[in-house]
Structure 1
Amino acid sequence: MLATLSEPGAAADVPTGFSAVAEDLRGNDRALLMIYAQLFSDESMDAVRRTLEARPNVALDEEFRDLPEDADDTTRQALAEQLAPFMDDARADHPVTLELKASAPRQVRAAKAAVGHALEALYNRAQIDVLRRAQMIIAAGRDPR
C-alpha cells in the first residue's frame, strides 16, 4: 500500500491504477470505485478503468452529475436518451463484465446488495432513475440519436 501511494500521481481515495482519471471524478464516483475494488476482480477493475479513461462525453457526464434530485420527468427522459447511446458505445468499445471476487452464493448476494446500497447512498434518485431509463432504452434496442 505505501509503495503504491508513493508512486508519482497516486491518489489515496481511488483504487490502484485509477490515478490518471482521479482528477475527473467526484467524491461519490471515487467512493463507488473504492467499493468496487473491494468486491470485483482485478480484471473487472481494469475494464472499468479503461472505460473511464475513454471519457466519451465530458459535458454529458457533467450534466448527469449535476442532475438535481427533483429533476422533472421530461428532463430525466431527455438525459436518459442522450446517455443511452454513449453507454451502449462504451459497453461495445470497453466491455465491462463485473466479476465478483466472492464465489459462495451468500457472498455473491451480499456483494450485490452492497453495490445496490452504495448506489442508493452515493447518487440521488433522479440520477439512478436516468441510468435505469438509459438501460431500458438500450435493452429495447432503440437508438435515440
Structure 2
Amino acid sequence: MVVTKNRLVFSATAAVVTTVAVTSAGVHLSQSQTVFRESPKEVVDEVWQIVNREYVDSTFNQVNWRAVRQEYLSRSYSDKQAAYKAIDQMLKKLDDPYTRFLEPKEFKSLQIDTSGELTGVGIKLAQDEETDKLTVVAPIQ
C-alpha cells in the first residue's frame, strides 16, 4: 500500500479531531456528572468552607463558625432551594452586610448586568501626615 503525503496529513488530522472531540465530550460529561451528584448538603458545606477560608475577620464576627457548620450539616435538605435558604440563614449569623449568597440565577444576572463596568465609590484618598488618618482628597471623575 502506497501512502501519499495527502493521505498521511488527512489521517493525522482526522485522528487529532477525533481525539479532541472524544476528550471534550469526556470533560463535559465529567463536569455534568459532578454537578449532578452534588447534594444540597454538599452545597451548604462548600459555602461554609469558602467563608471559613476567605472571611477577613478571623473571629467570624464573634461567631463560633465551627458550631455553625455542625448545626447546618446536621440538617437534611430536600433540594437545593432548601439548601440555599439555609445558606442565607447561616451567613446572616455573621451579621455582616457585605457577606451574602447569590443563587446561581442571581449570580448569572449580576454577571450580565455588570460585565464590562467598573464599580466603586470613585474617590481619591490621602493619608494625613499629622493624624495618620485617611481623608478624601477628591472625587474621581
TM-score normalized by structure 2?
Answer: 0.27
- Structure having the higher strand fraction is 2
- Structure having the higher helix fraction is 1
Larger radius of gyration: 2
Q: Which has the higher contact order (CA 8 A, sep 6+)?
A: 1
